[in-house]
Amino acid sequence: MNREATWNDGLRSPELAPRFSDAKLPRENVSTQMSTGIHTPNVKLPFNKTTEPSDPIFRQIRDLIYKVSGIFQLEEKLYLLTDGCARRMKQLGVRSPREYRDLLTTHSGREAELRQLLNEITIGETCLFRSQSQLDAMRKVILPELAAEKSNQLVKRLRVWSAGCSTGEESYTLAMNILEETDSQLKDWTIEILATDLNDRSLETAKTGIYGDYALRNTNDYYKQKYLLPLDEKKFQVRPEVKKLVTFSRLNLQDDANMRFMKGMDLIFCCNVLIYFDGRSKSKVIEHFFSDLNFGGYFFLGSSESLLRLNDKFHLVHFPGTIAYWKPSLKSGRL
């Protein structure tokens, strides 16, 4: 079944049918460097895009990455992993893939180095206001619905999770849009936006809240003037009133123990994060999302993603220009 929603009524129609997917982009294009300001050094790679890996050790490292994070590099993309390994090997003075593999598996500092390698291979490209249709759905239908659900609560709280937040553009976009509602339907509410990512460097960039023209390419003048401070001709910084709504922290979506601490969410955004996860890893993460959402909560994926054949607990909801997944409320009778 799915359920239809319009801006005018926000009502559910009783058809349901779930779908979903995801993405965390490895470093492979110029736009990544434009959005993050991170430069890839010139390193002689163990092999290139058109040849086979020169050492099967890299496949062992790939399997280790998969075991730890759920991220899996297909054969045709394995060069991206070896690229990251080459950079780390050069920085550490490691001379062979085998020696680096041993550093990741048997050395006392293996966990710290694995974290550094994950930083190399999970850099994503994004921008503020990337999906206006999702923002419209949130503000025009979902927030009024949640406000009605919580109307009898003494303390009104909205909790939003930006999962795979990368360098923070999505998280701050959500904060700006929610702030627009704090004089009306969210007046006197407590707002919490939890933004998590696997990449330490992306999180540090996110915490600064500083963005250039490329990251702001979809941001109109109204939001720039109201919520961003110009630093120079090309750089803007998110204002303190926006920053204070967002808490950034590192989280591995495959870490069952820490995923169980993410309970009580009203909205979860996990857009373009899971495409490098296989079906089993995706299903595990999605099950956590369902468990972590409050009844009546919503879950958004990227525009090209779906829960098809991955989870049948969520109810598919159609909004103008986008879809979302709904965890039925206790009052709905559709559990």
The DSSP result for 102-120, as a single string, is HHHHTSTTHHHHHHHHHHH
Residues whose CB falls within 8 Å of the CB of residue 86, separated by 6 or more in sequence, listed in order? 43, 44, 45, 46
Q: Are residues 218 and 261 in the same domain?
A: yes
Q: Are residues 13 and 154 in the same domain?
A: yes
Q: Are residues 134 and 69 in the same domain?
A: no
Q: Are residues 222 and 265 in the same domain?
A: yes
Q: Write down the pTM of the prediction.
A: 0.81
Q: In sequence order, which ranges of 2-92 are alpha helices (DSSP H)?
A: 30-36, 57-69, 78-92
Instruction: Give the pLDDT confidence score for residue 53 in this predicted structure.
Output: 52
Q: Are residues 132 and 277 in the same domain?
A: yes
Q: Are residues 96 and 209 in the same domain?
A: no
Q: Which two tokens stand for residue 315?
A: 């109810």
Residue 181 near residue 168, CB atoms below 8 Å? no
Please report, in tens digits, the pLDDT of each residue of the chain (335 residues total).
444 443 433 333 333 333 333 334 343 443 333 333 333 334 444 444 433 455 789 999 999 999 999 888 888 888 889 999 999 999 999 999 999 999 999 888 889 999 999 989 887 778 999 999 999 999 999 999 999 999 999 999 999 999 999 999 999 999 999 999 999 999 999 999 999 999 999 999 999 999 999 999 999 999 999 999 999 988 999 999 999 999 999 999 999 999 999 999 999 999 998 777 888 999 999 999 999 999 999 999 998 898 988 899 999 999 999 999 999 987 766 65
Q: Are residues 97 and 117 in the same domain?
A: yes
CATH code: domain of residue 63: 1.10.155
Q: How many CB atoms lie within 10 A of CB 172?
A: 30
Q: Are residues 148 and 287 in the same domain?
A: yes
In a domain, 34, yes or no: no
Q: Domain range for residue 107?
A: 39-121
In a domain, 27, yes or no: no
Domain boundary among 121, 143, 175: 121
Residue 258 near residue 8, CB atoms below 8 Å? no
Q: In whole angstroms, what separates CA 216 from the centre of its chain? A: 18
In a domain, 302, yes or no: yes
Strands 236-238 and 228-230: antiparallel
Q: Are residues 130 and 213 in the same domain?
A: yes
In a domain, 206, yes or no: yes
Domain boundary among 100, 121, 142: 121
In a domain, 143, yes or no: yes
Q: What is the pLDDT of residues 296-324, one digit of tens each?
A: 999 999 988 989 888 999 999 999 999 99
When divided into structural domains, the chain yields a total of: 2
In a domain, 186, yes or no: yes
Q: Are residues 231 and 134 in the same domain?
A: yes
Q: How many CB atoms lie within 10 A of CB 219?
A: 21
Task: Report in angstroms the alpha-carbon separations of 39 from 5, 11, 31, 32.
Answer: 44, 48, 11, 9
- The Cα 326–Cα 267 span in angstroms is 9
Q: What is the pLDDT of residues 10-56, one digit of tens each?
A: 333 333 333 333 334 343 443 333 333 333 334 444 444 433 455 78
* DSSP state, residue 77: G
In a domain, 30, yes or no: no
Site of tokens 């079906």:
279
Domain boundary among 121, 145, 177: 121
Q: Are residues 48 and 10 in the same domain?
A: no
Site of tokens 């998280």:
171
Instruction: Give the pLDDT confidence score for residue 157 in this predicted structure.
Output: 97
Give the residue from 283, 321, 315, 290 showing the smallest Cα distance to 303.
321
CATH code: domain of residue 228: 3.40.50.150
* DSSP state, residue 234: S
* DSSP state, residue 76: G
In a domain, 232, yes or no: yes
Q: Are residues 63 and 104 in the same domain?
A: yes
